[in-house]
Amino acid sequence: MADWQPEHAIEPGGDPHVHLAFERQTITIAISALVPLKSLREGVRESKKYAQIVSSIEAIGLVEAPVVIADTQHLGQYFLLDGHLRIEALKQLGTETVDCLVATDDETYTYNKRVNRLPPVQEHRMIARAVERGVAPAVIAEALGLEVGSVHRKFRLLDGICPEAVDILKDTTCPMNVFEVLRRMSTMRQIEAADLMAGQNNFSLMFAKALLAATPDDQLC
């Protein structure tokens, strides 16, 4: 199980009394243990969207984790709240398990693509693995709906970033442009800055630039 952010994390600048409706961590579940809450429309498997999902998973893996909630009446089973097409595509590809986000409250659950998309560091690693397997950047770009230049940028995301800082930020929502700011700091300052961002749960570009401005000259690159 891979932690994304602390359970019941609060969005930066958000109300501390309002919590997310699902845990920001994934759990590996057998696809056979998932109970769909809706039926697929007739002909959906022949649709262009479904074909794109299948080709994307084949090329680079699953980008967005399906969302589930535990079936309290049947231990080990989960209701599938979101990701029905992705699960169907995984079945077609012969996949037996999938990493899912677990909802904490089916009544207050609201789907949010920004939350269940892979963190930038994890997306970088996924793209790097695809490149290592010989997948062309153009194929990756098409699968993710990105420009080829954006794929190259994501591939180079961690250039100049020390492993310790990467480890701190690997499961966070830290945006790509923050890594560009960190790249201008020395190794020790990168670690310190990453610690401060994680401690404040603030990964904004503004905060990163403030940390850069407060960095002594001898800790700049």
Same domain, 40 and 132: no
Same domain, 127 and 199: no
Domain final residue, candidates 116, 146, 179: 116
Same domain, 8 and 73: yes
Write down the mean pLDDT value for the chain. Answer: 84
Same domain, 16 and 102: yes
| 123-156 per-position pLDDT tens digit | 899 899 888 888 899 988 888 888 999 999 999 9
Greater model confidence, 26 or 73: 73
Domain boundaries, position 91 = 2-116
Task: Say what the pLDDT of residue 167 is.
Answer: 96
Q: The tokens 């007739």 sit on which residue?
A: 42
Task: Say what the pLDDT of residue 122 is.
Answer: 86
Same domain, 79 and 31: yes
SS (H, E, C) 28-55: EEEHHHEEECCCCCCCHHHCHHHHHHHH
**How many domains does the structure of the chain reveal?**
3
Same domain, 97 and 43: yes
Gap between the Cα atoms of 182 and 159, Å rounded: 10
Same domain, 99 and 124: no
Domain final residue, candidates 62, 88, 116: 116
| 56-77 per-position pLDDT tens digit | 898 888 878 898 999 999 999 9
Same domain, 177 and 97: no
pLDDT band at 169 (very low <50, low <70, confident <90, very high): very high
CATH number, domain of 103, equals: 3.90.1530.10
pLDDT of 6 > 50? The answer is no
Task: Say what the pLDDT of residue 21 is.
Answer: 52
Same domain, 13 and 83: yes
Same domain, 143 and 165: no
Gap between the Cα atoms of 166 and 178, Å rounded: 12
Same domain, 53 and 8: yes
Q: Are 195 and 170 in contact (CB under 8 A)?
A: no
Domain final residue, candidates 137, 157, 177: 157
Same domain, 15 and 98: yes
Task: Say what the pLDDT of residue 64 is.
Answer: 81
| 75-94 per-position pLDDT tens digit | 999 999 889 999 999 999 99
- Of the candidates 171, 221, 217, the one whose C-alpha atom is nearest the C-alpha of residue 197 is 171
Half-sphere exposure for 9 (CA within 13 Å, toward CB): 18
* Model pTM score: 0.66
Spell out the alpha helix ranges (H) of the chain.
48-60, 84-92, 113-116, 120-132, 137-144, 148-155, 163-169, 176-182, 187-200, 205-213
Task: Say what the pLDDT of residue 36 is.
Answer: 94
- 3-class secondary structure, 82: strand
